Structure 1
Amino acid sequence: MRSLLSLDNSTASTNSTNHHHKWVGPIGHCVITVDVNGSGDFRSVQAAVDSVPANNRENVVIKISAGYYIEKVVVPVTKPYITFQGAGRDATIIEWHDRACDRGPNGQQLRTYRTASVTVFASYFSARNISFKNTAPAPLPGMQGWQAAAFRISGDKAYFSGCGFYGAQDTLCDDAGRHYFKECYIEGSIDFIFGNGRSMYKNCEIHSIATGFGSIAAQYRNTEEEKTGFAFVRCRVTGTGPLYVGRAMGQYARIVYSYTYFDDLVTHGGWDDWESTNIHTHNRNKTVLLGVYKCWGPGAEALKGIPSGQELDYNSAHRFLVKSFVNGRHWIAPSDS
């Protein structure tokens, strides 16, 4: 398997020659096996992560055999360069069931960000051919405290290929850092992709299980200086509605769909710019970017010609079409983009 870090190695080697900087990236390769039935090095994914030394400098591939791994997993910030490699999106599943209203060991409510079945704080994390689930029941609209994340990515330069993310409200916490999702399946009902990541979703299926109403993406960019935003490229939006395709939870939120197919599930108006709940909104229509470019399908018409959305031209859309949006040329191998 070609590492997504291979470009970093070659680039850094050149830089170290030219500028006399010692390369401190991953050196070497290590494989750890996990099998829930006991045939691997470990039975649990967390035990495998725990075995990786702090300040790891190797590319560590954790091969996770087919099966259900019912556990809560955390990859700490001190353990970069880890890959979770499953046996297939439908074969290898890590799942847990926390909700925001549940109480943690300290007796306090978990709140949304601590509900994730898998949380990654480390940089240079990747996952391939594996699914992450939060199995808490889906809330009815208006229910409080039922946010239940399947995955939280808070590390920089994270790559996902052929992965599944399953939940209802707040399925995927795209929290912080640069991230690239390729050919993934993401399922949920309300704000099921949310956070302030700088992320590209390419050739993904975004599947709504909303009842009553739902929303796909809630983006939190709050200042003009932040480079964050969600770029959806050649995706498919399927499932049930009515559905907002994006909500601007930050004053400068950016969500752009390009070349994306929409089922007939988009609510009239398509976008929610959060004006009704934010007191700093008098210039919001000038600072929020909720855009579409060459989208299609029966639901795409609901996104056109509305005040809170924008139909982009090529010059406006181009930066959201290419992996340089996440500086991908520097850390994603060409075969992986």
Structure 2
Amino acid sequence: MASKSYYFHLILFLIPLFNFSLKSYSQDVDRASDYDKWLSWNVQNHRRKALLQAESITQAPASFGRVLDDKLSKAEMNKVRISVSQNGTGHFRTIREAIDSIPPNNTRRVILEIKPGVYREKIVVPRTLPFVTLLGDSTNPPTITGNDTASVTGTDGKPLKTFQSATVSVDANYFVAINMVFENTAPHVIGSVGEQAVALRISGTKAAFYNCSFYGAQDTLYDHKGLHYFNNCFIQGSVDFIFGYGRSLYENCNLNSVAKKVASLTAQKRSSSSLESGFSFKDSVVTGSGMIYLGRAWGDYSRVVFSYTFMDKLVRPQGWSDWGKPNRDTRVFYGEYKCSGPGANFTGRVPWARILTDEEAQPFIGTHYVDGDTWLITP
């Protein structure tokens, strides 16, 4: 018969294992709870929007299929066009001059028809200039190019940092770009500091991009904040080349990596569980060089979903990265739905990635995700 001392030491040995098991179980419960809360909120929000849309269509005149918000409706009724051409045949020779001609607190949709060419300009659309549209030629889109990086010294003698490195910065709401190329030609050298080089930063809400291309290396597209829609766009970069706090839908987009080693396609920074932000990619293509994660958790509550997307073999089997902070595993939400290609094989995925059900995916796969029914207009 075993001695009392034996049982005493056996209990001392088992207690840490029991505590570890409880801790692991608790983490799993917390993780499941966070996922379920996020999914439940999106599903319920989607149903609510669908009901509201049905009511607005029922109440609207028969000639209208939907109801635009008041500000946009008025801006559309009074829209104007001005042209930009480097050869002097337009109203202005530079895009900056055209933007500077728009009066502050603009209330009309101003369409800048930009002729083909390479425009070496640093553009800022301030908050006081909503309803600006950049319209390029579909057969020969104009390019706005620059090469600033985060480490470049600004006019105040301080580094620009990532935020001000953008070739084009949009702080205004209701911005639209059609048939445009946004470019930052600064290269990325692995291991170097301060090489963030943004092609475009979008900080205004209710912004749309159609048939646009974004070329860069590290931090190409700063999807900073607000509701955004990208359709039929080409986005190229190496490290975190789509990043920010935005609540954005990317539809029919080509996401092209030029990474030389291992990098990440997205870095979504949802830093609070109350932020309605997150990136959704639908009917898109992931191709290019190097090996990439679909996303890494810049924020503790990072949210990214890929649906109906072709993923080439450059996607790492793990699929997602917690940025070396395992505590984020219980908070991030990374989902995939009916994706295809060798990179979509879910066998090697991190355990905290999700394959979504039909109901769970529904909130992410339409323009309702960005409240588009009230502000998306025909290009």
TM-score normalised over the length of structure 1: 0.89
From 279, 303, 314, the equivalent of 1:254 is: 303
**Is 1:41 matched with 2:91?**
yes
Match of 1:126 in 2: 176
Match of 1:101 in 2: 151
Change (3 A) 1:41 1:173: same
Match of 1:155 in 2: 204
More deviation in 308-317 or 60-69?
308-317
What's the secondary structure of 2:261's corresponding residue?
A: coil
Larger of the two Rg values belongs to structure: 2
What value does the CA root-mean-square deviation take over the aligned residues? 2.0
| Mapped contact 2:268–2:296 kept (Cα < 8 A) | yes
Deviation track 1:110-147 (CA, whole Å, cap 9, x = no partner) reads 1111000000000000000010000112x222211111
What's the secondary structure of 2:194's corresponding residue?
A: coil
Change (3 A) 1:43 1:11: closer
Structure 1 residues without counterparts, runs of 5 or longer: 1-6, 17-22
| Mapped contact 2:130–2:174 kept (Cα < 8 A) | yes
Instruction: Give the Cα separation in 1 of the matches to 2:66 and 2:202.
Output: 23
Change (3 A) 1:94 1:269: same
Offset, 1:11: 4.1
| Mapped contact 1:99–1:115 kept (Cα < 8 A) | yes
Bigger proportion of residues as strand:
1
| Mapped contact 2:238–2:265 kept (Cα < 8 A) | yes
From 212, 216, 220, the equivalent of 1:171 is: 220
Matches within 5 A, 1:1-337: 10-12=67-69, 25=75, 27-88=77-138, 91-137=141-187, 139-274=188-323, 276=324, 278=325, 282=327, 284-301=328-345, 305-333=349-377
What's the secondary structure of 1:147's corresponding residue?
A: coil
Matched pairs, number: 315
Offset, 1:308: 3.4
Structure 2 residues without counterparts, runs of 5 or longer: 1-63
Instruction: Give the Cα separation in 1 of the matches to 2:87 and 2:194.
Output: 35
Amino acid at match of 1:293: Y
Offset, 1:91: 3.0
Change (3 A) 1:35 1:247: same
Instruction: Give the Cα separation in 2 of the matches to 1:36 and 1:187.
Output: 27
Instruction: Give the Cα separation in 2 of the matches to 1:310 and 1:66.
Output: 44
Instruction: Give the Cα separation in 1 of the matches to 2:347 and 2:96.
Output: 43
Change (3 A) 1:324 1:170: same
Change (3 A) 1:89 1:50: farther
Instruction: Give the Cα separation in 1 of the matches to 2:240 and 2:365.
Output: 23
What's the secondary structure of 1:319's corresponding residue?
A: helix
More deviation in 301-310 or 171-180?
301-310
| Mapped contact 2:183–2:214 kept (Cα < 8 A) | yes
Change (3 A) 1:294 1:9: closer
Runs of 4+ in structure 1 deviating by more than 6 angstroms, as ranges, are none
Offset, 1:268: 3.0
